[in-house]
Structure 1
Amino acid sequence: MPEVIFNGPAGRLEGRFHPAKKRNAPIALVLHLHPQFGGTMNNQIVYQMYYMFARRGFAVLRFNFRGVGRSQGTFDHGQGELSDAAAALDWVQTVHTDARACWIAGFSFGAWIGMQLLMRRPEVEGFISVAPPANLHDFSFLAPCPSSGLIVHGDNDKVVPQKDVQTLVDKLKTQKGIVIDHETIPGANHFFENDMDDLMDRCGTYVDGRLGLTPADYVDID
Structure 2
Amino acid sequence: MPEVIFNGPDGRLEGRYHHGKSPNAPLALLLHPHPQHGGTMNNKVVYALYHAFVRRGFSTLRFNFRGVGRSQGKFDNGQGELSDAASALDWMQSFNANASACWVGGFSFGAWIGMQLLMRRPEIDGFVSVAPPANVFDFSFLAPCPSSGLIVHGTNDDLVPEPTVAKLAAKLATQRNIKVRYETIEGANHFFGTHLDALDGMVDSYLAESIVARAPAPPPVAEPELAVALS
What one-letter code is carried by the residue in structure 1 that aligns with 2:157?
A: D
Q: Which runs of no fewer than 5 residues in structure 1 stay unpaired?
A: 214-222
Measured in 1, the distance between the counterparts of 2:22 and 2:177 equals: 30
Q: What amino acid does structure 1 have at the position aligned with 2:177?
A: G
The range that moved more, 131-140 or 94-103, is 94-103
Deviation at 1:80, TM superposition (A): 0.4
Name the amino acid aligned to 1:206. Answer: Y
Give 1:170 deviation, angstroms.
1.3
Q: Is residue 2:143 matched to residue 1:143?
A: yes
Q: Distance in 1 between matches of 2:16 and 2:98?
A: 20
Indicate the SS of the match to 1:195: helix
Confirm whether residue 116 of structure 1 aligns to residue 116 of structure 2.
yes
What residue in structure 2 maps to residue 217 of structure 1?
Answer: none
| Secondary structure, counterpart of 1:124 in structure 2 | coil
Which residue number corresponds to residue 218 of structure 1?
Answer: none
Aligned residues: 213
CA distance in 2, matches of 1:168, 1:49: 21
Distance in 1 separating the partners of 2:155 and 2:120: 31
Corresponding residue of 2:160 = 160
Note the 1:40-189 alignment, pairs <5 A: 40-189=40-189
Identity percentage of aligned residues: 66
Following the alignment from structure 1 to structure 2, what is the Cα–Cα distance between the partners of residues 118 and 70? 26
The TM-score, its normalising length taken from structure 1, stands at 0.95
Distance (whole Å) between structure 1 residues aligned to residue 174 and residue 201 of structure 2 = 27
Q: Whole-Å Cα distance in 2 between the matches of residues 99 and 211 of structure 1?
A: 13
What RMSD over aligned residues (CA atoms) do the two structures have, in Å? 0.8
TM score, norm. by length of structure 2 = 0.91
Letter in 1 for 2:3: E
Q: CA deviation at 1:100?
A: 1.3
Tell me the secondary structure at the aligned position of residue 125 of structure 2.
strand
CA drift of 1:23 comes to 1.1
Shift of 1:123: 0.9
Where does 1:24-39 land on structure 2 (aligned, <5 Å)? 24-39=24-39
Q: Which structure 2 residue ranges, 5 or more long, are not aligned?
A: 214-231
Query: What secondary structure, in the 3-state scheme, does the structure 2 residue paired with 1:6 have?
Result: strand
Specify the structure having the higher radius of gyration (Cα).
2
Distance (Å, rounded) in 1 between the aligned partners of 2:5 and 2:188:
34
CA distance in 2, matches of 1:184, 1:21: 32
**Deviant stretches of 4+, over 4 Å:** none
SS at match of 2:140: coil
Alignment of 1:190-205 (within 5 A): 190-205=190-205
